[in-house]
Amino acid sequence: MTGAEFVPLSLPPLVIGICAAIACAIPGNFLLLRKQALIGDAISHVVLPGIVLAFLVTGTLSAWPMMMGAGIAALVAVGLIEAVRRLGRIEPGAAMGVVFTAMFAGGVLLLEQSDTSSVHLDVEHALYGNLESLIWLDATGWSSLFDLEALAGMPPELWRMAITTLFVLVMCVLFWRPLKLSTFDEGFAQTIGLPVNHIGLGLVVTAAIAAVAAFDAVGSIIVIAMFICPPAAARMMTNSLEAQVLWSVVFATVSAVLGYVLAGYGPLWLGFENAVSAAGMIATVSGSILSLAAAFGPCRIRGGAPVEA
């Protein structure tokens, strides 16, 4: 494989995939510890009506209105889940199930009702993403990375995803201590005057931003898988939060790279002609990592609990 092939065809999707994986995995660590892991699942389902509505309102498929719509839908969903939970005194899991399935159904209905079939907007696309098609046609080889003219032709998803990842990283570093405190000991965090509720809300909003950006670039499967699998695998490796976040970043990166390579080249090695879904493969690889960690990870059992015979 030469640079002339690799740089235009595989480098952008790889970088986008890695960024998406990391941006989802980092907030995923905290969501996992707070037993809110399924928020990523809920968000990735409810962005569909947001995207369809944004398309119906603006009439274009450009990225910003789509992301706005998705973001608003995610916030509406979080609010609705909270409202159903409080007004109906229903346990959070069921409230979440009620809201996200209903909103997803609404999205599918809107999609069928509106004449969106002429444009590239359909449910399968939303689920699988189109990682493979995010190519950089202007590139001719490694030297293009230093060519400003060619760089301008990079897929815009790459910049968006990179900025989102940076944002998530900065948030994580800036709010590290309050996040850690309020995640492990909410009562203590409250007594030393931390705004626990706002921190929780900020975490969910950051997660939603990461989810929406990644959803736009790579589809909902990667989003759900990366929110949970790398942090869950990392949880089996260590008892320290710092190390867990680092492990999860490593696992997310490995999943993205290995998944992309296996999807693109694996079938060729086996003698088939067509590549398989990269998003699906990345999720599969992250699952394999998790199962390995669950089987052999040094901290796979709850701290102090005896190993089950």
Partner 1 sequence: MLLEALTLQLGYNATLVTVGAMLLGIAAGATGTFLFLGKRALVSDAISHATLPGVALAFMLMVAFGGDGRSLLGLLLGSAVTSAIGLLCVSALTHRTRLSEDAAIGAVLSVFFGFGIVLLTVIQSMNAGRQAGLESFLLGSTAGMLWNDAVVIALGGTLVLLAVLILRRPMTTVAFDPEFAAGAGMNVRRIELAMMGLAMAITVVGLKIVGLILIVALLIIPAVAARFWSHRVGHVVLLAGAFGGAAGYVGAAISATAPALPTGPIIVLVAFAIFLMSLLIAPARGVLAAMLRHRHFQAQVHVRQGLLALATDQPIYERLTLRLMKRRGLVRADGVATETGQAQAARALLDERRWQVLRSDPAHAEAAAHYDGLTPLDTVLTPDQLKALDQGLGPRATT
Contact (Cβ atoms closer than 8 angstroms) between residue 101 and residue 80: no
Work out how close the CB of 10 gets to partner 1 at its nearest, in angstroms, rounded to a whole number. 18
Give the nearest distance from C-beta 246 to partner 1 in angstroms: 18
Cβ atoms of 222 and 285 within 8 Å: the answer is: no
Among 1, 118, 124, 152, binds partner 1 (CB under 8 A): 124
Q: Which stretch binds partner 1 (CB under 8 A): 14-22, 108-116, 175-183, 189-197?
A: 108-116
Q: Which of 2, 3, 4, 11 is nearest to 264 (CA)?
A: 11
The residue among 37, 61, 18, 60 whose CA lies nearest residue 218 is: 18
Min CB(109)–partner 1 separation in Å: 4
Tally the C-alpha atoms within 13 A of residue 58's C-alpha that lie toward its C-beta.
Answer: 15
| Region of residue 208 (phi > 0: left; psi between -120 and 50: alpha; otherwise: beta) | alpha
64 vs 272 by CB, closer to partner 1 = 272
Say whether residue 112 binds partner 1 (CB under 8 A).
yes
Structure tokens of 27?
């907030």
Q: What binding mask, one character per residue, do residues 21-40 give for partner 1 by CB under 8 A, x or -?
A: -----------x--xxxx-x
HEC readout, 155-220 = CHHHHHHHHHHHHHHHHHHHCHHHHHHHHHCHHHHHHCCCCHHHHHHHHHHHHHHHHHHHHHHHCH
Residue 154 or 217 with smaller CB distance to partner 1: 217
* Closest CB 162 distance from partner 1, rounded Å: 23
Residue closer to partner 1 (CB basis): 72 or 108? 108
Is 301 a residue that touches partner 1 (CB under 8 A)? yes
Residue 65: phi and psi, rounded to 5, are -60, -40
Q: Report 201-240 residues binding partner 1 (CB under 8 A).
A: 221-222, 224-225, 227-229, 232, 235-236
| Residue number, 33 or 68, with CB nearest to partner 1 | 33
Integer CA distances (angstroms), 165 to 60, 143, 159, 218, in order: 26, 25, 10, 14
Binding track over 66-105 against partner 1, x by CB under 8 A: ------------------x--xxxxx-xxxxxx--xx-xx
Note whether 276 binds partner 1 by CB under 8 A: yes
Q: Enumerate binding residues for partner 1 (CB under 8 A).
A: 32, 35-38, 40-41, 45, 84, 87-91, 93-98, 101-102, 104-106, 108-109, 112-113, 123-124, 127-128, 221-222, 224-225, 227-229, 232, 235-236, 263, 267, 272-277, 279-284, 286-287, 290, 294, 299-303, 308
